[in-house]
């Protein structure tokens, strides 16, 4: 019994094996009590021994969480004390304390309070109010009262305990009390304010940090609970700091696979998911770790909220736009909660709500509504229709209806949500404002603009302090957005002044919050411009132009030139300018708008059609009928495709086409199109003015056709309509008078004709015609200006206009045509449209030769530029001929070399390189280099670019050392011009240099070059580009060479991520996964390594050749062998060897030998030494064919030596080890681990040999 008692003490106090301790104590008691009688307890020694054993057994069961057994022994201990030691009140109180704690753990709180109250009475009687023993009892009793919801009594007891602990400097006790108070305050449903709980946890943490062992499990638990509470309060920064500390402590104490670590990770995930901006990647990693930890437990960990984990994963995926994954996660969360709770739980309702929003994001609206109604039903049933949660579900349902464009249903939901949120205005005012704003949006959509204005005004008043001059801050950006919406609403009900005031206030707030050049300022400026245009007042038009100009300027300064708002503003400016007959200003704006719309919306969008109509109108006003007809025709096609045959835009396009057909004298076609346009107008019930315009066009066509009777009839009707609609001085009335006067003249009715002409003249007196010469000068001058400013797209349009007006006024083959043709060719060359460039430049060369003669200076410049274009088109022979022609003509006139000559030498070198004439190419590039150095200086960019091409030639011809030196020289020059150099050329130079350094095994230098290339390509094409992925793969290989496996793995992983983000897997992904697998194996993370290797094998089978597949099978075998699973490794290695043997390619002999060696080692481990020896000897023979002193040969000899040793043939084994040692010492040096291994094996065999002697 004494021995068992000692064993129990050791297990209890030192080994912490509490179940074993309890068993020892019970066995000791059974021995002691084997001959027990009533008189036995009269022996004090015996009685104390039994009493001690009962108490120790109770403590052991308590610590092993066997509360039932603990209760039984504590009750027995108390009974023994009452019966045999009635005077041991202190010992009785201690046992009552422990009994109360066990009852509390069993949730038998009423019994616990009874026992602890008895204990407190005894302790107070024995020790007084300020004893530490009394404080411990008060603390335990307070916790029981708190669990029963008796918070006042609990607070009193906690306060008394805290006062004593603080007086004694008992920081552990102080910490425990504050934690318990914090738990009580945070769980108090009657007090939603958690500030008291936070203060308690903060005080607990301060006390905990005073303890010498502050980094233990209790500290981790405290930090976890504190972080969770901070997270609930939205203080994510503080929560993040404390949760990281908790995680660090608990992982150090218990490792990763620990329930508390999982809970901490769950809270960390929640913090990162809720932060602004959210850190989704970090959150997702944490949640995946939680699931991994949960899966590692042999039994389900009931304390871990796996349902919450999946729910949070759903939130993260939703934030990342991964709607399908979010839906799956929410469904998994619901499945888990349903397995442990009823379908109608409030927790399930919250997940149903989130699931509904996820379905909404995925546009699965029926499922979204079904899930939200389920959430709504549960919350209404469990919490009531006055609860905040009920209001939030109604609001979520409104959001789905908005997404479905069912705005009336959304308004019904929003009215209910607003009703609920108004009851929580003090604590949920922001949610109320959001609901009212959305209500305004929906009212706007259904056309109730007065209601929308009222909603937006209400939001603004709620956000701005009552006294705006009080200095109190408010969310200016949000108010600015609301004022903008308010302006929209006012403009719809023609309250222009109020709309302008709202827009103006929006601009002021955006300027104060984000700066004058913020895009949001530009958006409101656009709305102001539209508002000014809608008022149709000449005095406001110039202000509208300024507004639209500001929109374009701001967007361009922000690098957002390709944006619908830019195009819209350009169109609005163009409309105003065309109305003002400022066609020259309007035209480039339209071209820019067209370019933006096409890039954003495609060639067949309605917006493109509208710009084509506007451009057609401009061409028409400039008498460019063909261009106008083409634009109108294209617009008609687009409108019919997008809008249908009876749309008003179709009518307008037909109207314009008919007008141009009439000018071309294709009258029948013109009448047909215009009558179709009029038919659409009448069918639609359009206004009389529109009908009158269509009728007027028909009248004009009949007039031109010579059918004066029909024309007169239509003109007379139009005159009546126009005078009634627009007044006597409208230009349309003038057109009718003019036309009617012409018909009267044709009929010989002079008086009526003159009267009509005079009336028309009175209206058109202010109209001016523009002279053709002026247009030629203006268009040509503007084109040259834009070209000089390098605004080439705008210059192109002006040059093309210049060419068109020259054709009209001077003819197609005039000398003046040469310059714009040559300039258009240059622009096309800069746009990489080389065929178009060649056409225009050839036209220019023909004109220069015609008027100036061959060999003239203009011809030389044109010849040189054509040679460059031919080079770009890879027409190397033609390009060389042109360059030679240029140089021949140049050297006839002068001998001194110029920049053009140097450029010609350079381009000739490139052309010769394209023809694989490396020696000639090197000769011309060296000429270019000498000329460039002379003209531009040794450190010029021109010199650097020639050096790059020269290095490429050297590398191609095998002069790698020279190439490296030349690349280094070019890079040094590029770095002297950081603002001016071509990033693409520099990046490709780094790549070329890195490849050469790789070949020379200069891995450090190669790594430096690859890193520089990586940085440049990341800036040039983006960090998620395929180019960056390829470079990361190369860097990973280098890090492997340098044995920096962690960095290598990081590079390979990032490369895989990029490629997969950009599309499908490929061979590079497979190779990267192979490297990752090997690196995991090196770190003995065999499971992860095997997973990667199997994924690589799958991809290798899809993308790679048989030897590559075999290599991957060998990798799998190596990993399994290293993992201690040789039988599984054998399957992969046998398959690999079979594949290798099926190949007849001699290039894989080494791979076959390596496979045999690995397979031999595995067979040796499995005890099949004969097979192992056969394979290893075969590997040795193949390796020796590559040389007798290679490390592969040494490896084979080492393994063969071990096999001979296992046979007992130590002579042969010793011979193999000695030859292995010799090779390894020569190759690796004496300090290498492989050399030491060979020495060790030799010494072992020599000892056996000596012993046998």
Q: What is the pLDDT of residue 506?
A: 93
Confidence of residue 843 (pLDDT cuts 50, 70, 90): very high
Q: What is the pLDDT of residue 875?
A: 92
pLDDT tens digits for range 1014-1045: 999 998 889 899 899 999 999 999 999 888 99
Contacts of 641 (CB under 8 A, 6+ apart): 604
pLDDT > 70 fraction of the chain, expressed in percent and rounded: 94
- Tell me the Ramachandran region of residue 1084: left when phi exceeds 0, alpha when psi lies from -120 to 50, beta otherwise: left
Q: What is the pLDDT of residue 900?
A: 86
pLDDT tens digits for range 129-186: 888 888 989 989 999 998 888 888 999 998 999 899 888 888 888 898 999 988 888 8
| Whole-number Å distance between alpha carbons of 694 and 156 | 92
pLDDT tens digits for range 29-82: 998 888 777 777 777 788 888 888 999 999 999 989 898 999 999 898 988 888
- Taking residue 961's Cβ as centre, other Cβ atoms within 10 Å add up to 10
Q: What is the pLDDT of residue 510?
A: 92
pLDDT tens digits for range 102-127: 998 888 888 999 999 999 998 888 88
Q: What is the pLDDT of residue 189?
A: 56
Q: What is the pLDDT of residue 1145?
A: 65
Q: What is the pLDDT of residue 753?
A: 62
Q: What is the pLDDT of residue 771?
A: 41
pLDDT tens digits for range 784-815: 766 776 888 888 887 898 798 788 888 888 88
More confident residue, 84 or 407: 407
Whole-angstrom CA distances from 52 to 24, 70, 453 are 13, 14, 82
Q: What is the pLDDT of residue 465?
A: 76
Confidence of residue 778 (pLDDT cuts 50, 70, 90): very low
pLDDT tens digits for range 897-953: 788 888 888 999 989 988 889 889 899 899 889 988 988 898 898 899 999 989 998
pLDDT > 90 fraction of the chain, expressed in percent and rounded: 36
More confident residue, 363 or 44: 363
| Whole-number Å distance between alpha carbons of 1120 and 1081 | 9
Q: What does pLDDT average to over the chain? A: 87
- Taking residue 1004's Cβ as centre, other Cβ atoms within 10 Å add up to 10
Could you tell me the two tokens for 185?
Answer: 């305050």
Q: What is the pLDDT of residue 317?
A: 93
pLDDT tens digits for range 949-999: 899 989 888 889 999 999 999 999 988 888 777 888 899 999 999 999 988
- Taking residue 595's Cβ as centre, other Cβ atoms within 10 Å add up to 16
Confidence of residue 366 (pLDDT cuts 50, 70, 90): very high
Give the mean pLDDT of 1049-1065: 90
Give the mean pLDDT of 996-1009: 90
Task: For residue 1217, give the nearest of 1245, 1250, 1180 by alpha carbon.
Answer: 1245
Rg (CA), the chain: 45
The length of the chain in residues reads 1253
Whole-angstrom CA distances from 987 to 395, 960, 994, 998 are 53, 19, 11, 17
Q: What is the pLDDT of residue 386?
A: 92
Identify the sign of the CA torsion 830, 832, 833, 835.
positive
Q: What is the pLDDT of residue 428?
A: 66
Task: For residue 259, give the nearest of 301, 222, 219, 218 by alpha carbon.
Answer: 301
| Whole-number Å distance between alpha carbons of 1099 and 1079 | 19
| Whole-number Å distance between alpha carbons of 1087 and 1120 | 9
Could you tell me the two tokens for 1011?
Answer: 């890193």
Could you tell me the two tokens for 556?
Answer: 């361009």
Q: What is the pLDDT of residue 770?
A: 38
**pLDDT at 1219 > cutoff 70:** yes
pLDDT tens digits for range 844-880: 989 888 888 887 888 888 888 999 999 899 998 999 9
**pLDDT at 767 > cutoff 70:** no
| Whole-number Å distance between alpha carbons of 968 and 974 | 10
- Phi first, then psi: what are they for 602, rounded to 5°? 95, 170
Could you tell me the two tokens for 1008?
Answer: 């430096």
| Whole-number Å distance between alpha carbons of 1089 and 1053 | 13
pLDDT tens digits for range 291-347: 998 888 766 666 788 999 999 999 999 999 999 999 999 999 999 888 887 677 889
């Amino acid at each position: 019994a004494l021995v068992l008692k000692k064993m129990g003490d050791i297990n209890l106090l030192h080994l912490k094996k509490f179940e074993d301790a309890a068993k020892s104590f019970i066995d000791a008691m059974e021995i002691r009590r084997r001959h027990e009688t009533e008189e036995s307890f009269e022996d004090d020694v015996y009685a104390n021994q039994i009493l001690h054993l009962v108490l120790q057994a109770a403590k052991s069961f308590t610590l092993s969480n066997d509360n039932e057994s603990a209760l039984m022994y504590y009750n027995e201990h108390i009974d023994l004390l009452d019966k045999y030691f009635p005077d041991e009140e202190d010992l009785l109180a201690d046992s009552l304390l422990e009994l109360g704690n066990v009852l509390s753990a069993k949730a038998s709180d009423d019994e616990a309070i009874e026992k602890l109250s008895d204990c407190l009475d005894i302790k107070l009687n024995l020790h007084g109010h300020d004893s530490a023993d009394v404080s411990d009892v008060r603390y335990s009793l307070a916790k029981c009262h708190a669990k029963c919801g008796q918070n006042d009594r609990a607070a009193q007891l906690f306060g008394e305990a805290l006062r004593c602990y603080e007086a004694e400097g008992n920081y552990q006790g102080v910490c425990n009390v504050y934690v318990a108070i914090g738990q009580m305050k945070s769980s108090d449903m009657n007090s939603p304010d958690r500030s008291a709980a936070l203060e308690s946890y903060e005080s607990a943490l301060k006390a905990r940090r005073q303890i010498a062992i502050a980094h233990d499990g209790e500290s981790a638990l405290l930090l976890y609970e504190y972080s969770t509470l901070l997270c609930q309060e939205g203080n994510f920064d503080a929560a993040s700091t404390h949760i990281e500390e908790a995680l660090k402590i608990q992982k150090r104490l218990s490792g990763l696979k620990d329930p508390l670590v999982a809970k901490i990770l769950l809270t960390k995930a929640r913090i990162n998911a809720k932060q602004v901006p959210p850190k989704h990647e970090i959150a997702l990693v944490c949640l995946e770790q939680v699931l991994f930890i949960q899966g590692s437990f042999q039994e389900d960990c009931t304390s871990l909220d796996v349902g919450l984990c999946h729910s949070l994963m759903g939130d993260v995926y939703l934030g990342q736009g991964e709607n399908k994954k979010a839906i799956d996660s929410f469904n998994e969360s619901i499945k888990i909660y349903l397995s442990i709770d009823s379908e109608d739980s409030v927790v399930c309702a919250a997940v149903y709500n989130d699931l509904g929003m996820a379905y909404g994001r995925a546009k699965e609206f029926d499922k979204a509504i079904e899930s939200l109604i389920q959430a709504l039903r549960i919350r209404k049933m469990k919490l009531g229709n006055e609860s905040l949660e009920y209001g939030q579900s109604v609001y979520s349902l409104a959001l789905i209806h908005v997404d479905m464009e069912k705005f009336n249903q959304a308004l019904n939901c929003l009215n209910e949500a607003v009703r609920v949120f108004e009851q929580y205005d003090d604590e949920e005012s922001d949610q109320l404002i959001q609901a009212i704003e959305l209500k305004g949006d929906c009212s706007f959509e259904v056309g109730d603009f007065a209601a929308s204005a009222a909603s937006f005004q209400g939001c603004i008043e709620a956000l701005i302090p009552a006294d705006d001059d009080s200095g109190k801050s408010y969310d200016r950006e949000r108010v600015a957005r609301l004022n903008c919406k308010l302006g929209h609403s006012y403009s719809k009900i023609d309250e222009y002044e109020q709309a302008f005031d709202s827009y103006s206030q929006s601009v002021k707030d955006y300027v104060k919050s984000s700066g004058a050049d913020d895009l949001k300022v530009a958006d409101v400026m656009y709305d102001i411009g539209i508002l000014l245009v809608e008022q149709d007042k000449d005095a406001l038009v110039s202000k509208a132009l300024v507004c639209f100009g500001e929109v374009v300027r701001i967007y361009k300064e922000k690098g957002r030139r390709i944006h619908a708002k830019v195009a819209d503003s350009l169109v609005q400016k163009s409309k105003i300018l065309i109305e003002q007959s400022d066609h020259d200003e309007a035209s480039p704006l339209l071209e820019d708008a067209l370019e933006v719309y096409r890039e954003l919306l495609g060639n067949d969008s309605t917006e493109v059609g509208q710009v084509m109509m506007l451009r057609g109108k401009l061409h028409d006003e400039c008498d460019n009928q063909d261009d106008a007809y083409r634009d109108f025709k294209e617009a008609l096609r687009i409108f019919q495709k997008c809008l249908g045959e009876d749309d008003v835009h179709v009518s307008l396009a037909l109207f314009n086409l008919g007008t141009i057909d009439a000018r071309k004298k294709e009258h029948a076609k013109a009448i047909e199109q215009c009558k179709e346009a009029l038919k659409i107008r009448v069918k639609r019930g359009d206004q009389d003015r529109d009908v009158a315009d269509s009728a007027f066009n028909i009248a004009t066509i009949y007039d031109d056709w010579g059918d004066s009777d029909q024309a007169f009839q239509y003109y007379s009707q139009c005159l009546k309509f126009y005078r009634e609609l627009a007044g006597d001085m409208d230009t349309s009335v003038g057109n009718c008078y003019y036309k009617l006067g012409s018909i009267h003249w044709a009929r010989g009715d002079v008086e009526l004709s003159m009267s009509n002409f005079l009336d028309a003249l009175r209206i058109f007196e202010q109209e001016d015609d523009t002279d053709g010469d002026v247009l030629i000068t203006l268009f040509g001058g503007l084109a040259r200006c834009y070209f000089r400013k390098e605004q080439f797209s705008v210059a192109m349009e002006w040059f093309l206009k210049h060419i068109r007006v020259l054709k009209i006024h001077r003819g197609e083959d005039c000398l003046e045509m040469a310059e714009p043709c040559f300039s258009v060719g240059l622009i096309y060359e800069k746009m990489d449209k080389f065929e178009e460039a060649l056409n225009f430049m050839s036209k220019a060369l023909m004109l220069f030769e015609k008027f100036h003669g061959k060999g003239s200076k203009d011809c030389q410049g044109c010849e040189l530029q054509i040679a460059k274009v031919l080079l770009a088109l890879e027409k190397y022979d033609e390009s060389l001929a042109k360059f030679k022609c240029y140089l021949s003509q140049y050297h006839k006139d002068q001998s001194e070399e110029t920049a053009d000559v140097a450029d010609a030498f350079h381009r000739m070198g490139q052309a010769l390189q394209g023809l694989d004439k490396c020696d000639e190419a090197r000769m011309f590039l060296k000429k270019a280099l000498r000329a460039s150095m002379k003209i531009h200086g040794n450190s010029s960019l021109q010199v650097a670019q020639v050096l790059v091409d020269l290095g490429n030639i050297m590398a191609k011809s095998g002069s790698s050392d020279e190439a490296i030196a030349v690349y280094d020289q070019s890079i040094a020059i590029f770095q002297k011009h950081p603002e001016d150099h071509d990033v693409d050329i520099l990046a490709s130079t780094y790549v070329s240099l890195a490849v050469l350094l790789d070949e020379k095994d200069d891995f450090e230098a190669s790594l430096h070059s690859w890193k520089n290339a990586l940085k440049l390509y990341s800036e040039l094409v983006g960090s998620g580009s395929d180019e960056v992925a390829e470079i990361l793969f190369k860097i990973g290989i280098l890090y492997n060479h340098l044995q920096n496996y962690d960095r290598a793995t990081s590079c390979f992983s990032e490369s895989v991520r990029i490629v997969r983000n950009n599309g499908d897997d490929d061979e590079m992904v497979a190779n990267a996964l192979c490297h990752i697998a090997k690196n995991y194996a090196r770190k003995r993370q065999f499971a992860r390594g095997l997973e990667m290797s199997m994924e690589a094998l799958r991809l290798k089978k899809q993308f790679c050749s048989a030897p590559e597949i075999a290599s991957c099978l060998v990798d799998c075998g190596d990993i399994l062998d290293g993992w201690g699973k040789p039988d599984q490794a054998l399957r992969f290695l046998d398959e690999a060897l079979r594949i290798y043997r099926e190949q007849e390619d001699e290039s894989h002999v080494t791979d076959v030998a390596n496979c045999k060696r690995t397979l031999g080692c595995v067979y040796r481990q499995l005890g099949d030494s004969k097979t192992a020896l056969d394979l290893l000897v075969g590997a040795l023979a193949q390796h020796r064919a590559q040389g007798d002193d290679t490390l592969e040969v040494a490896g084979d000899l080492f393994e063969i030596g071990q096999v001979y040793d296992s046979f007992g043939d130590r002579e042969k084994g010793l011979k193999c080890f000695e030859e292995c040692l010799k090779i390894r010492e020569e190759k690796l040096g004496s300090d290498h681990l492989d050399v030491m291994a060979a020495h060790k094996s030799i010494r072992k065999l020599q000892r056996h040999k000596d012993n046998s002697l």
